[in-house]
Structure 1
Amino acid sequence: MAEPLASEARRQLFTDARSQNAWLDKPVSDIVLRELYDLTKWGPTSMNCSPMRLVFVRSPHARERLLEAVSPGNVAKVRTAPVVAIVAQDTRFYDRLPQLFPHRPESGKLFHDQPKLAEETGFRNSSLQGGYFILAARTLGLDCGPLSGFNAEAVNTLFFDGTPLRVNFLCCLGYGDPRGLFPRSPRLAFDEACRVI
């Protein structure tokens, strides 16, 4: 049985971590991006379906394309973050189930025959993996700025046209500049959000 993490680790992952709005001029290397994915991929998904796909936007050309699709309030964040991850889902994730779920290689047919189930499963599990992605980034000392202020249709056209990939959310990555932080917003108390029945 695993032991609870030390309070310092819990602070780094949750209580001290913040969604960043401004970034230090410090690059994120390819080695760190690979390490980030290699941690993220171990998070559980239903039937090990692993529908999340990532596009790391770093080049000036790709960044300018992405800026066409983001809301005005997110332009500065996307422009200045060392990397912006497009967290996407593969809508045909089930084609990989013979590889990812080998003890039931026929399971992909379940989703092929039920497109609504496939859509719900892909979105739910790519969102779940997106949460793992943020936590994995924090374990590596990276800061994150997840964004939902963008035109999904535009992102899909610009980056995924002709593919089964569809954007879920964007996540700026790098080393946050604390001068860009707002006061921390409140959270709901246990009794406001939870029931034990």
Structure 2
Amino acid sequence: MSLVLDAAAQDLLFREARTANTFTDEPVSEEQVQAIYDLVKYAPTAMNAQPLRITFVRSPEARERLVGHMAEGNKAKTASAPLVAIVGYDTDWHEELPKVFPHAPGAKENFDNAAEVRHGMGSFNASLQIGYLIIAIRAAGLAAGPMAGYDAEGVNKDFFGDGAHKVLAVINIGRPGPDAWFPRSPRLEYDEVVTTV
């Protein structure tokens, strides 16, 4: 076999994993969330920067505010998910470099006056971490529903008014409910995607 991961784990994380559109009302516990993050923190990032920031929306008041920023087709899903995560990046992620990248003294200073570079690196590396977050949610036996259909400016203003974070996605999290799945759409095959030079 060419993969080390057994078939059941491959199915759980990839082949049978789907984006849920409905959820049961079973709560997602703080213990589950911490276990998920304990996997996510190992995602690769440039200079070990770890710019991902996660805001879990649990209170009814915060949920109502978030739903107001969602695209029409995403409102019901976000309103009914047991847990919703606003995921983005820390706009000043470089401030943590002395702690997370200690073998390169002075690395932080290289980014102090480079906001555009920080934005590019922050959003790219946090996006890598979001991929790991989705896999970790699946590893916990839950479904992840990542969405880009929302008013980003509104979410940023409402939840990150100080500009310290920028939203990249909203992820609904929970156990799939009735009729949770759309029919699976086709996937591109290896020869349609891969080129060897």
TM-score range, shorter chain: over 0.9
Moved over 4 A (4+): none
Give the equivalent residue in structure 1 for 2:47: 47
Give the equivalent residue in structure 2 for 1:73: 73
Whole-Å Cα distance in 1 between the matches of residues 18 and 157 of structure 2? Answer: 31
Secondary structure of the structure 2 residue equivalent to 1:103: coil
Post-superposition offset of 1:10: 0.6
The yes-or-no answer on 1:108 pairing with 2:130 is no
Give the equivalent residue in structure 2 for 1:188: 188
Letter in 1 for 2:159: F
Whole-Å Cα distance in 2 between the matches of residues 15 and 109 of structure 1? Answer: 44
Question: Does the CA contact (< 8 Å) of 2:68 and 2:75 recur in 1?
Answer: no
What do residues 54-102 of structure 1 show as CA deviations (whole Å, max 9, x unaligned)? 0001111110010111000000100000001000100110000000101
Pairwise CA RMSD of aligned residues? 1.1
Which segments of 5 or more consecutive residues in structure 1 lack a partner in the other structure?
none
Whole-Å Cα distance in 1 between the matches of residues 35 and 113 of structure 2? Answer: 36
Give the equivalent residue in structure 2 for 1:8: 8
Letter in 1 for 2:38: D
Question: Does the CA contact (< 8 Å) of 2:90 and 2:165 recur in 1?
Answer: yes
Q: Percent identity?
A: 43
The yes-or-no answer on 1:174 pairing with 2:174 is yes
Aligned residue runs from structure 1 range 1-197, under 5 A: 4-197=4-197
Which segments of 5 or more consecutive residues in structure 2 lack a partner in the other structure?
none
Post-superposition offset of 1:178: 4.9
Whole-Å Cα distance in 1 between the matches of residues 101 and 17 of structure 2? Answer: 34
Question: Does the CA contact (< 8 Å) of 1:87 and 1:170 recur in 2?
Answer: yes
Question: Does the CA contact (< 8 Å) of 2:91 and 2:163 recur in 1?
Answer: no
TM-score by length of 2: 0.96
Greater alpha carbon shift after TM alignment, 123-132 vs 173-182:
173-182
Whole-Å Cα distance in 1 between the matches of residues 88 and 28 of structure 2? Answer: 20
